[in-house]
A = this chain, B = another copy of it.
Amino acid sequence: MKKLLTTLCALMPLFGIAQAQEFTPEQLEQVKNVREQALKSNLSWQLLESLTTEVGPRMPGSENDKKAVKWAQQQFKTLGFDKVWTEPATFPHWRRHHEAGSIVTPSKQPLRLTALGNSVGTPAQGITAPVVMFNTFDELIAAPKNSLEDKIAFVNYRMKRHIDGNGYGPAVRARRSGAVEAAKKGAIGYMMRSVSTGHHRFAHTGASGYQAGISKIPNTAISNPDADQLERLINGGHEVAVNMNIQTEDLGEGTSYNVIGEITGSQFPEQYVLIGGHLDSWDLGTGALDDGAGVALTMAAAKHISEIAQPKRSIRVVLFAAEELGLWGAKAYFKRHAEQLDNIVAAAESDFGADVVYAFESNVAANALPVVKAIAQQLAPLNIEYVNANNAHGGPDLIPLNQVTNAPIFALHQNGTDYFDYHHTADDTLDKVDPRKLKQNTAAYAVFAIMAANAKTKLTGKGK
């Protein structure tokens, strides 16, 4: 009998040992309960439905953005969070008024285009000019000086589809600074194939910028089918001219608010697990995938934890402001809390839609890895794989945190295969979210957050 027990102990996986060292049986029972509760509950869906329906699009600085801030405070209070507060963030306030486009030569055809964020407008009748096509952004960069005078530059690069969205980086360069490079060559307008994996006729907006000393030219993206059409016409030997008409407004500095709700810890209340998403959205859709889902599921995850038991450390849900225009809420948050960043024992942002979480990854100091593995074991019943690389990058709103310190960052990787079909389009609406998948996401965040909050070992990052 003794021999049998010894053998059993030898066979006990490392995970089991870590669990036993870091968590009491009662705490592990709580994890199971919170997971099951999150999988059963409709709360995250109800929050998402309410935000996207009653508020709708939430462009930073808009009336709806103000409504969203009130909505979030009210919801946190209704859900019984211990502390609810806001913190201001400023950002460059930009607004889209009107957009339209057409091919005018060789045949009159509408173009589905959208102004990129921060773009200047055109004159009232738009600008009409011949199009010069580049297959990649680098081809545009390599174009001779003055070669685009009185032309509209068109970058026709196609984003690649991938489960982790790794096609985004190579594609987004042409959005962030395409208009700058085009203007350097003398172009009077810029148009790009959307940063998109979709095959529907939606143009994808997104942040873009200008450079001091370089002419600001109107900056647009067209849908994939429209880009296909331009490509066919140009490759067919036609001279193609287009009209782009965008009316936009630069409203100077705007102010919005990070909205924060906290479930206060019983033992180390100043230490906290940071989860959240961003409350703002682009104006075209209703921001269901980007990032209503992240808002709703992290709020719900913390609520489910509070229903089971008060955690040892606090759970802080931060709903960041003005992410889309340049992470302005996140910059303000981490600047404001710069002296207390060590209080963050774990941070994870959900900002990649609402498809299933398929993998879990950490970025922590070595002594924290047993806790990570214990969390991974409790995520496994949700069909989440453990990525044993300890090199996670967090969501975009954690970038300003990463820039000052290597904090204990976690990634709950969502399946992003379809995410860029909808990202930043009019088609980012509630019906694109699968309620069952949203529950799985909610459960994953709840399991992660309760365990990071309750672990015996305080989690820390790798540091600078």
Contact = CB atoms under 8 A, between A and B. Distances in A.
Contact of A228 (B201, B228, B430): B430
A238 B54 CA distance: 9
Interface string A55-67: 1110000111001
A296 to B, nearest CB: 15
B108 A232 contact: no
A201 B427 contact: yes
Contacts of A64: 107-109
A88 interface: no
Contacts of A54: 106-107, 233, 236, 238
Nearest to A102: B56
Contact of A53 (B57, B229, B284): B229
Nearest to A54: B107
A200 interface: yes
Copies of this chain: 2
A284 B110 contact: yes
Most buried by B among A53, A202, A427: A53
A54 B64 CA distance: 42
A426 interface: yes
A431 B228 contact: yes
Nearest to A53: B232
A420 to B, nearest CB: 15
A107 B55 contact: yes
A201 B228 CA distance: 20
A435 interface: no
Contacts of A63: 108
A324 interface: no
A201 B199 contact: no
A236 B54 CA distance: 9
Most buried by B among A106, A109, A202: A109
Contacts of A430: 225, 228-229
A426 B228 contact: no
Interface in A393-435: 425-427, 429-432
Interface in A50-89: 53-57, 62-64, 67
A103 interface: yes
A286 interface: yes
A112 interface: yes
A97 to B, nearest CB: 11
A232 B49 contact: yes
A225 B427 contact: yes
Nearest to A230: B53
Contacts of A427: 200-201, 225
A56 B109 contact: yes
A56 B107 contact: yes
A45 to B, nearest CB: 12
A49 B107 CA distance: 14
A399 B57 CA distance: 45
A233 B236 CA distance: 48
A285 to B, nearest CB: 8
B107 A67 contact: yes
B108 A426 contact: no
A286 B56 contact: no
Interface in A105-138: 106-110, 112
Most buried by B among A49, A200, A286: A200
10 contacts: A54-B233, A56-B107, A56-B109, A63-B108, A110-B284, A200-B427, A201-B202, A201-B425, A225-B431, A228-B429
Given A53-B236, A110-B426, 16 more contacts: A53-B232, A54-B236, A56-B103, A56-B109, A56-B229, A57-B109, A62-B108, A64-B108, A64-B109, A112-B426, A199-B431, A200-B202, A201-B425, A201-B426, A228-B429, A229-B286
